Amino acid sequence: MLSSAPSGIAALEAGIEIVFAVMLCYACVTDIRRLRIPDAVPLTVVALFFLNYWLRGAPDALAPHLWVGGTAFLLFLGLYLLGGFGAGDVKLIGALMLWAGARDGLDFLTVMAFTGGIIAVLLMALRKAMTVWPAVKAYIPSRRLKAWARRRIFPYGVPICVAGLICIPLFFAP
């Protein structure tokens, strides 16, 4: 008779996926609340990648992931040095691009850019609305959102995390 209980490895893989999602949600919340992504998040995401890689054991597949993750980290580090991204954003993008690899990297970046674009347009529209019609401020329930629009602040960790969550099926596909 076949057992319906998951094997130990399947349970561990499911646990990795859950911790991965929880870390991205935590990063999103902390970026919204404090405009910071704790170093523990990208470190955990990288550690989960290597644990997942070890469980699946595809020895020839590691190099492309390392190359893509490292290249993305260096490119976004350059953008950080130009003032375009925060340090936490750079580390998290590098960690997620490690997961994406060459196969899913473009998909992840596309979802991240699209999500970021939507949020940026909404913040710019909100800023314009508050400038043209100051009474609109009374209808915006979040002080944080009003401050971001007024001060031109954009917590880019939010679209990074949303893209990571959307791409979970890609990252964990065999």
Tell me the pLDDT of the chain (174 aa) as tens digits: 454 446 888 899 999 999 999 999 999 999 999 999 999 999 999 999 999 999 887 777 899 999 999 999 999 999 999 999 999 999 999 999 999 999 999 999 999 999 999 999 999 999 999 999 988 888 888 888 889 888 988 999 999 999 999 999 999 987
Cβ-contact 103, 150 below 8 angstroms: no
Report if residue 2 sits inside a domain.
Answer: no
Tokens matching residue 51: 């644990």
Report if residue 154 sits inside a domain.
Answer: yes
Cβ-contact 76, 85 below 8 angstroms: yes
pLDDT the model gives residue 140: 86
Report if residue 126 sits inside a domain.
Answer: yes
Rounded to whole angstroms, the Cα distance separating 92 from 27 reads 9
Residue with tokens 């929880």: 22
Amino acid 79 reads L
Report if residue 65 sits inside a domain.
Answer: yes
Report if residue 79 sits inside a domain.
Answer: yes
Of 99, 107, 115, nearest in space to 64 by CA: 99
Q: In this structure, is the dihedral angle defined by the CA atoms of residues 153, 154, 158 and 160, taken in order, positive or negative? A: negative
Report if residue 73 sits inside a domain.
Answer: yes
Report if residue 108 sits inside a domain.
Answer: yes
pTM for the model: 0.90
Report if residue 1 sits inside a domain.
Answer: no
Domain count, the chain: 1
Which domain does 112 fall in, by range? 8-171
Amino acid 99 reads W
Rounded to whole angstroms, the Cα distance separating 142 from 21 reads 25
